[in-house]
Chains A and B, each alone.
Chain A
Amino acid sequence: MSRRCAGVMVLAILLCGRLSAQAVDRAKPPTLPPPPALKLPAIQTATLPSGLTLAVVEVHKVPVVDVQVLVDAGAARDPADLPGLATFTALMLQQGAGTRRALDVADEAAFLGAQLNTTATADGAVASLHVPRRRLEAALDLLADVVLRPTFSDSEVARQRELRSAQLVQQRDEPVAVANVAFPAIVYGPGHPYGHPLNGTDGATAALTRDRVAGFYRAYYRPNDARILMVGDITLAQARGLVAARFGAWPQGDVPGLAGGTAPATATRAVYLIDKPGAAQSVIRIGHIGPARSTPDWYALEVLNTILGGAFTSRLNQNLRETHGYTYGAFSQFAARRLAGAFVALASVVTAKTDSSLVEFLKELRRIREEPVPEGELAKAKAYVTLGLPGDFETTGGAAARFREVLSYGLPLDYYDRYIGRIGAVTAADVQRVARQYIDPDHFDIVVVGDKAQIEAGIRALNEGPIVYRDLWGQEIK
């Protein structure tokens, strides 16, 4: 097979001779040596005079750097009359910046081998870069143009507005996308910062203008509360020099606080049915508003969710997929959010088993509240969360995602050093307590995107709440 074969083969014979004496015991799985000590890369920070926070995680094994500029300009900031403005503004950062025209930005990034992305989530905007170390300086020049000197020309705004409006047409063909838009619309309602679609509506898209984009940018793209996270083949000293030279003059501004908003109290459980004639599957979302990321219960919630629907062997997936074969996968999550995130259990299930799937979902969601979790199941979930942690920090992108959570939600910088101990301390009683507190089947919003003609009667027969018809945006049908 290879040049090394000769030497290797001799060793093989010796080892085989030794091992053949001991038969393999397959009757039980091997006892494992103790797990390796946790060795996470450290995060170092510095604050620039402008108030900008720089955070660096040194990872030197591959000559690449992952850069994330985190700005408090997420979709929760969208004005009531213009949902989608935050994601559109983030998108527009790349459509011309400094002296570069729109396609020049893309061309330059590709030429540098840099992945340049500008997006917004509900809680923040992110301009990110993933680039070979030797092209970092030039790529940071480009990133600084994009973040600090976007052009926002009328013609580019019009161009992206037209493109987005066509993409919203496509979104309606995609049952999973429809469910992902409808669920928050129903759970949070129009009065809450998380209640509108991230990419806006048809009407709001038509109303996007240069002035609104530039105004949003002026208000929220400020260094006061911004952070630049760099993970990879770089030191804090190098990063500080590179960032100060490019982002040092970013002017501060008065960034208003984020209003909490209110969501309607759900009076009762209800099933919201969104019709997709001929759909081969029904896309199911079950949940309600949950806690903010900052809750001290987060550790117990992570363990709870791992037991319920966060891993392959979790109850929902074992039941709906491995026992019944209704779906390719069933999961749950507590969304990490600055304000109250949502709890959601989800799956795409075969149309004919939509009602049966809802029965199994509700059974598991009630059981986790009613019965204490057996010790073995608890231990498995805790081990899965804690022992799997080092793998999350293996790549620059993976480590950046973990540390981004620390920076975005105001967690202490040594969060992950203490994390394992905190997860380890979660008891079965804790799991049951947070299950009862944060999973409330009496107030579930159950959203089903599927073929109404085939699934409605079965759902109605379950008698799990009134059926309410909604459109492809999760809105009332007029």
Chain B
Amino acid sequence: MPRMSSTTPVLLGLACAAGLSAQTLRVPYTTFTLPNGLQVLLHEDHSVPVVAVNTWYHVGSSDERTGRTGFAHLFEHIMFMGSEHVPTGEFDRLLEAAGGDNNGSTTEDRTNYYEDGPANALPLMLYLDSDRLGFLLPEITTDKVDIQRGVVQNERRQSYENRPYGLAQENIVDRLYPPNHPYHWPVIGSMQDLHAATLEDVRRFFQTYYTPNNATIAIAGDISPADARALVERYFGDIPRGPAVTRTPPPPVRLSADVPAVLEDKVQLPRVYDAWHTVKAFADDDATLDVVANVLAGGRSSRLYRRLVYDMQIATDVVAFQDGTRIDGKFEIFATARPGHELGELQRVIDEELRKLADQGPTAREVERARNTFEAEFLSRMERVGGFGGKADQLNFYNYFVGTPDYFQKDLDRYGRVRPAAVQRAVKTYLTGAHRVVLSVVPQGKAELGVKP
């Protein structure tokens, strides 16, 4: 849920790469922690005179409470509404006047913010970021919360309600996770809960989660680490530490039976989604499941594309992915029926291909192909210091998920170790041998077009 987004939806690819034979991926960094607990990561890259400041607050929609779903993301928007020394609107205006850009995004697990721009703008970026971390509340009023509430409700309309199949994912997590599980609701939240959020909620959330000790700043690009450090100390040093954030991880969840569901939507072509519980990010089998997804539906040479779209011509598309997050993971496959074809036909072929992969495993070439694809994606993610998925964001990602910012090569190595037998075993363990949510999205008034249990 970025604060602003392009018109194309992007599955923020956290799937990664494989054993580069000749080179080692490295993103050298230095780190320090201020007395108030703010952790800082610095990475020099002088290839282009730009700088990227990327801040992760370790809070996401999984920290929300009942009746306030979508609040972490709404709060992300409020973080741009000004702070004590930066009146409303000035955050963006000052940054653009310096040639910079910014954005923010929220997931179940974390909220991130970045500023990108010419290297000389670093003091401004840190001034702006520190002011909203240290001095947000004096500037935030109910009116300003209301404005961003309206923006976010429109984001929900634009990206979910007014987009075909856009409500599928929230219907899946609603059934995959029990009501008391922090992944039970969507990051965007419900209209009703967005409507209910108050200024008091803003105050409490800010004081609980927007503290230096719950944040990490990565600064990458054309910087002098000594200067960057001095600037961070100057702007963030006087912000007081907050209370420690504690969380009790929920007990693991599994489905005890298949869960069929039908969602009527403004679509002409029905689509079926299969969703399973798998493993969290960086657990054993997380990378293996990325390879499973690639073998099944990664591009036009994949098994399901070949069967459903190319040979049988009963589907327009098919997608599969492993989504490993902090507390849990899920695996999804979805495919859209062509006119004149039924979801039951698609589901049968999907099940046949899953069975085949469970019985015989993939070929060595399929696994190598997946690895090469991941490897290339990995390399391309080294080209940029800023934005979502640039090097600064990735340093923060690895830091939060595995505790080692420069985990690039180790992450890549996970894919190099995947063997066909492991792929076969993962399919059996997590897919064919487990229960799933089967969600049929069908035209309005045509519930009978859903997959029959």
Contact = CB atoms under 8 A, between A and B. Distances in A.
A113 B376 contact: yes
A16 B236 CA distance: 11
B88 to A, nearest CB: 8
Interface in B11-38: 22-23, 30-35
A418 interface: no
A406 to B, nearest CB: 19
A326 B154 contact: yes
Contacts of A388: 99-101, 117-118
Interface string A17-61: 001101010111110111111010000000000000000000001
B49 A173 contact: no
A170 B230 contact: no
Contacts of B148: 325
A312 B96 contact: yes
B98 A15 contact: no
A387 B127 contact: no
B383 A387 contact: no
Interface in A88-136: 102-104, 106-107, 109-115, 130-132, 134-135
Interface string B133-160: 0010000000000111111011101110
Given A9-B32, A110-B369, A132-B379, A281 B157 contact: yes
Contacts of A109: 299
B379 A64 contact: yes
Contacts of A37: 49
A384 B116 contact: no
B323 interface: no
Contacts of A209: none
A463 B45 CA distance: 56
A28 B45 CA distance: 30
A174 B164 contact: yes
Interface residues of B, number: 98
A327 interface: yes
B150 A326 contact: yes
B155 A328 contact: yes
B301 interface: yes
Given A26-B131, A325-B151, A391-B117, A281 B158 contact: yes
Contacts of A384: 96-97, 99
Given A173-B268, A325-B150, A390-B50, A19 B233 contact: yes
B316 interface: yes
B30 to A, nearest CB: 6
Interface string A132-146: 101100000000000
Nearest to B157: A280
A390 B267 contact: no
A4 interface: yes
B327 to A, nearest CB: 24
Given A30-B127, A103-B300, A280-B157, A35 B120 contact: yes
Interface in A156-210: 159, 162-163, 166-167, 169-170, 172-176
Interface stretch (A220-228, A241-249, A393-401): A393-401
A166 B373 contact: no
Nearest to A174: B164
A175 B158 CA distance: 10
B215 to A, nearest CB: 14
Contacts of B151: 321-322, 325, 327-328
A1 interface: yes
Interface size class of A (residues with CB under 8 A): 35 or more
B338 A32 contact: no
Contact of A383 (B96, B127, B267): B96
Interface string B292-310: 0000001111000010011
A111 B368 contact: yes
B120 A33 contact: yes
Contact of B379 (A2, A26, A63, A107): A63
A394 B118 contact: no
A155 to B, nearest CB: 11
Contacts of A395: 380, 383-384
B372 A113 contact: yes
Interface in A332-384: 348-350, 379-380, 383-384
Contacts of A131: 376
Nearest to B152: A328
A64 B50 contact: no
Interface of B: 4-5, 7, 22-23, 30-35, 39, 45, 47-50, 84-86, 89, 92-94, 96-102, 116-121, 123-124, 127-128, 131, 135, 146-151, 153-155, 157-159, 161-164, 222, 229-230, 233-235, 237-238, 266-269, 298-301, 306, 309-310, 313, 316, 336, 338-339, 365, 368-369, 372-373, 375-377, 379-380, 382-386
Given A30-B124, A328-B159, 10 more contacts: A24-B234, A26-B84, A35-B119, A103-B301, A110-B298, A159-B313, A173-B268, A175-B162, A176-B163, A281-B162
Interface of A: 1-2, 4-5, 8-9, 11-12, 15-16, 19-20, 22, 24, 26-30, 32-37, 39, 61-64, 102-104, 106-107, 109-115, 130-132, 134-135, 159, 162-163, 166-167, 169-170, 172-176, 276, 278-281, 311-313, 318, 321-329, 348-350, 379-380, 383-384, 386-388, 390-391, 393-397
